[in-house]
Amino acid sequence: MLHNSAPSIMSRDPVFRVALTGDELLNSARFNKGTAFTVAERKAFGLTGRLPSRVNTLDEQCERAYAQLETRDSPIRKNSFLQSLKSQNIVLYYNLLSSQAEAISDYSHLFRRSEGLYLTFTNQDSMEEDFLEQTKDRNIDLVVCSDSEAILGIGDQGGIGISSAKAVIYSLIGGVDPSQSLPVVLDVGTNNETLLNDKLYVGWPHKRVRGEEYDKFVDKFVQLVRKYFPHSLLHFEDFGVANAQRLLRRYRDSHAVFNDDIQGTGAVTLSCVMAAVGVTKSKLSQQRYIIYGAGSAGMGITRQLRDAIVSTDGVPAADATALFYLIDRHGLIKQSLGKDDIREDQQEFVRPDDEWVGVKENGNGEISLLETVKKIKPTVLIGCSTHAGAFTEEVVKAMAEGCERPIILPLSNPSRLVEVDPKDANDWTNGKALLATGSPFPPAKMPNGKEYIIAECNNALIYPGLGFGAMISKSRGMTDSMIIAGARRLASLAPALKDPDDALLPDFADAPEVNFEVAVAVAEQAVEDGGVDVTWKKEEARERVRQHLWKPVYGEYVYDEAGMK
């Protein structure tokens, strides 16, 4: 049972002072209501002769729009309809999406239209001018940027679509006013040969810029964000593994920056594990962790869990680090691997060779997942490798022999790349496994005939709330303590804490209410930490978050020639 229901979260209808009239008002996507303008508003704003007689409610408009959407028989045509709707009526667009949970969960995959700010390497001399032109007279709370190098399931791509999609999710689920968000693409070229050879490719047809030139370009952009919107959240999305952690580390002490692939994935996974150890009546520090896949997501999960162990259980960092065993394409990451096979961000988690004397190796001196499981008897097995089927029956059964309720989280997506089908993991452990996946899966049958709900470890359950909490508190950074506070609040909402055979995370349909709670927890922690530019107290955080939630509803319009609010 969530602490708040949707009506109590979104209870206030805004009043806007509007100076637009006639066609100018109808052509404003932000303020257009279409047939929902009241009779009084039609008279006040010169709309009576421009609209048909009947006044519709927003629900009626939404019903009509959904029926029109359903007549489109392909994703491309559906997307075209949605983007046309967005350009005409922002409130109706977001209301339609928010009423369809499936549309929200699929949005990032469906979204294709480009919009926002394009910053191209060749035009960096005019970057500040372009930035100011796009943000003129706007209060920006959220900047979502990507260099489009590592888009999930697609790889190296040009375009701004992923930044726009993330910004939309912040509004749909997190309550961020869409007029205060800015999607940005940092076009530094592409190494995608298909795009480079495509005469219709609209991005910069050049190999990706690397090294010092890349860093200077990104830094110029970041400094503009810091200069003009010092209290905004800067969200990094789908940067390649060589840059993601490095950029986060470089800027996190000087601005509120957030990388969803690292911190969002880490936070929602931490919540899942917190809920699981709540079921087993144990502690984070009492687990043994195998992370299968040590890229950006895997390292983000590892660090988030390690930091939470230190913070919540009071364990020294070195002892917490020793609980983790990382496996990548070279097998277990241990000392004897070649120098080029261990990245800088993996160094502190390298296992000493003397731990593995007598353990079976392959012909290249590598230790497999199965041998690692047999040796350490993990209680937590997390997959973020996109290595389909890696958690074999032998691996899962070996893990189940070593603990009463193994925590198995095959998080790779899409579902065809999952390390193990949760149904199989459930069967192979006789219903003992505590499971969550990165993509939606149907329930699995328990030995007693009960259905076990497979939790979807979806970043959207937490990152909009993390970001909104930082924005509301005007925090000067997105700190580890803020992220852990948000993760702890999400974990507290897990159905499994009331029924150990229920889901480890709330249903995705509850994402708006869940993120509200996350935002409150983050804002409370930010104020407690003290790195904020607000005067209100921690106890006021819930009401402050509630007051600032944007909602896709029509407000009351009052004509005001002096301007708009």
The answer to whether 354 is a known ligand-binding residue is no
The answer to whether 459 is a known ligand-binding residue is no
Q: How buried is 129 (Cβ within 10 angstroms: 0-12 exposed, 13-18 middle, 19+ buried)?
A: exposed
Following DSSP, what letter does each residue of 86-136 receive, concatenated? HHH-HHHHHHHHHT-HHHHHHHHHH-----SEEEEGGGGGGHHHHHHHHHT
- In whole angstroms, what is the distance from residue 420 CA to residue 411 CA? 9
The answer to whether 413 is a known ligand-binding residue is yes
The answer to whether 261 is a known ligand-binding residue is yes
Work out whether strand 324-328 and strand 331-332 pair parallel, antiparallel, or are unpaired. Answer: antiparallel
Establish how many alpha carbons lie within 13 A of residue 544's alpha carbon, considering only the half-sphere containing its beta carbon: 22
Tokens of 480: 């580890």
- In whole angstroms, what is the distance from residue 549 CA to residue 63 CA? 24
Q: What is the dihedral of CA 209, 213, 216, 219, to 10 degrees?
A: 20
The answer to whether 237 is a known ligand-binding residue is yes
- In whole angstroms, what is the distance from residue 184 CA to residue 160 CA? 6
**DSSP code for 334:** B
Helix (H, G, I), strand (E, B) or coil at 380: strand
- In whole angstroms, what is the distance from residue 60 CA to residue 45 CA? 22
* Residue 247, CA distances (Å) to 216, 217, 304, 483 in order: 12, 12, 17, 18
Contact yes or no for 158/195 (Cβ under 8 A)? yes
**DSSP code for 450:** P
Following DSSP, what letter does each residue of 18-57 receive, concatenated? E---HHHHHT-TTT--GGG--HHHHHHTT-GGGS-SPPPP
Q: How many CB atoms lie within 10 A of CB 131?
A: 20
* Residue 98, CA distances (Å) to 29, 37, 175, 254, 300 in order: 17, 21, 11, 34, 29
Q: Which residues contact 483 (CB under 8 A, 6 or more apart)?
A: 263, 266, 267, 304, 466, 522
Q: How many CB atoms lie within 10 A of CB 18?
A: 22
- In whole angstroms, what is the distance from residue 227 CA to residue 18 CA? 30
Establish how many alpha carbons lie within 13 A of residue 246's alpha carbon, considering only the half-sphere containing its beta carbon: 12
- In whole angstroms, what is the distance from residue 548 CA to residue 546 CA? 6
Can you say which residues are annotated as belonging to the binding site for (S)-malate? 413, 458
Which positions make up the binding site for a divalent metal cation? Answer: 237-238, 261
Annotated binding site: 237-238, 261, 413, 458
